[in-house]
């Protein structure tokens, strides 16, 4: 049995038991495991990791541990420029788009309300969800840590909070999305984009009391759902403001 010293930094400590947080952890192992295996054995999904230093040198997940090695594991950097170092992510996504597992339906709705691309994999098997995320180049959002440990997952995030409003704030902060928010531009049902539609072409779908005073309408380009500013709009606007005010307080906006 051999031992390496492992230290998790920043929010990666969220995945550790309380007595191991912010400490150097003695990690006992046999053979020469990959650093990815060591990191996930301690409970940290590999997709949460941005940089790994093995004995002070930047390495990828395939690097092997040896007796007496020191492993430093870092999450995404918000203010420190590490562009000159090797990050473990193969390449960034060309766009920010999410795929949420079946337990995050309310979060999906809030992200769509903000105008963010958020697909919801309701009643979907884990292997199908992972395959869809890879095929569509989406970031998996989940409360299931084990899902993010699957080798086929390249981009993902473990949502810490259990409250949907706080979850939305958390995602906006984590991915620095405050400047990309465009409220009321996506369908709350399927997540596709909304486009203006002439009132006359959809008049038969508009309640008479609404048609009498409202002339501007939006239609989902995907499922065809129709939208207009009704009595519920102030409540939805207040929800958007609650999310963005909190992210601004925390330095994102």
Rounded Cα distance, 49 and 7, in Å? 12
Shared domain for 15 and 60, answered yes or no, is yes
pLDDT higher than 50, residue 11:
yes
pLDDT band at 122 (very low <50, low <70, confident <90, very high): confident
β-partners of residue 139 are: 98
Shared domain for 101 and 171, answered yes or no, is yes
Task: Name the domain boundary from 39, 74, 109.
Answer: 74
Residues 230/103, Cβ–Cβ less than 8 Å: no
> For 39-53, what is the mean pLDDT?
94
Q: Tokens 């420190």 — which residue?
A: 80
β-partners of residue 70 are: 5
β-partners of residue 53 are: 58, 72
Tokens read off for 15: 């995945």
- What's residue 77's pLDDT? 62
Give how many domains the chain has, as a whole number: 2
Shared domain for 65 and 127, answered yes or no, is no
Instruction: Average the pLDDT over each of 49-63, 91-105, 192-206 and give the range with the smallest value.
Output: 91-105
> For 82-90, what is the mean pLDDT?
61
Task: Name the domain boundary from 156, 183, 210.
Answer: 183
pLDDT higher than 50, residue 253:
no
Instruction: Average the pLDDT over each of 35-39, 121-125, 158-162, 200-204 and give the range with the smallest value.
Output: 121-125
Instruction: Average the pLDDT over each of 33-42, 76-85, 126-135 and give the range with the smallest value.
Output: 76-85
Shared domain for 179 and 111, answered yes or no, is yes
Shared domain for 151 and 106, answered yes or no, is yes
Domain membership of residue 225 (yes or no) is: no
How is 8-23 classified by DSSP, letter by letter? E-GGGGGGS-GGGTTS
Residue 91 vs residue 165, higher pLDDT = 165
Domain membership of residue 178 (yes or no) is: yes
Residues 178/243, Cβ–Cβ less than 8 Å: no
Domain membership of residue 137 (yes or no) is: yes
> For 14-41, what is the mean pLDDT?
94
Shared domain for 108 and 52, answered yes or no, is no
Domain membership of residue 26 (yes or no) is: yes
> For 22-29, what is the mean pLDDT?
95
**Which CATH number covers residue 160?**
3.40.50
pLDDT band at 124 (very low <50, low <70, confident <90, very high): confident
Domain membership of residue 45 (yes or no) is: yes
* Percent of the chain whose pLDDT exceeds 70: 89
Does residue 172 sit in helix, strand or coil? helix
- What's residue 80's pLDDT? 45
Domain membership of residue 200 (yes or no) is: no
Residue 250 vs residue 213, higher pLDDT = 213
pLDDT higher than 90, residue 87:
no
Task: Name the domain boundary from 183, 212, 245.
Answer: 183
pLDDT higher than 50, residue 79:
no
- What's residue 43's pLDDT? 95
- CA nearest to 175, candidates 83, 59, 50: 50
**Which CATH number covers residue 40?**
3.10.20.30
Domain that holds residue 28: 2-74
Q: How far is CA 152 from CA 5, 119, 132, 228, in A?
A: 27, 19, 11, 41
Domain membership of residue 214 (yes or no) is: no
């Amino acid at each position: 049995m051999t031992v390496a010293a492992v230290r998790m930094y920043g929010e990666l400590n969220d995945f550790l038991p309380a007595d191991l947080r912010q400490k150097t952890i003695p990690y006992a192992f046999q053979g020469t495991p990959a650093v990815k295996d060591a990191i996930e054995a301690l409970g940290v999904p590999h997709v949460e990791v941005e940089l790994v230093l093995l004995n002070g040198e930047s390495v990828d997940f395939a690097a092997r541990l040896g007796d007496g090695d020191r492993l430093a594991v870092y999450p995404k950097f918000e203010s420190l420029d590490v562009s000159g170092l090797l990050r473990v992510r193969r390449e960034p996504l060309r766009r920010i788009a999410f795929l949420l597992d079946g337990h995050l339906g309310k979060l999906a709705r809030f992200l769509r309300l903000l105008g963010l691309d958020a697909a919801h994999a309701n009643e979907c098997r884990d292997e199908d969800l992972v395959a869809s995320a890879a095929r569509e180049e989406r970031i998996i959002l989940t409360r299931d840590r084990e899902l993010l440990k699957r080798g086929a997952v390249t981009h993902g995030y473990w949502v810490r909070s259990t409250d949907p409003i706080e979850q939305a704030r958390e995602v906006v902060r984590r991915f620095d999305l405050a400047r990309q928010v465009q409220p009321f531009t996506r369908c709350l049902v399927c997540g596709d984009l909304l486009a203006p539609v002439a009132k006359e072409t959809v008049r038969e779908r508009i309640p008479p009391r609404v048609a009498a005073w409202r002339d501007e309408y939006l239609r989902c380009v995907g499922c065809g759902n129709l939208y207009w500013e009704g009595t519920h709009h102030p409540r939805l606007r207040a929800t958007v403001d609650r999310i963005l005010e909190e992210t601004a307080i925390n330095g994102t906006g």
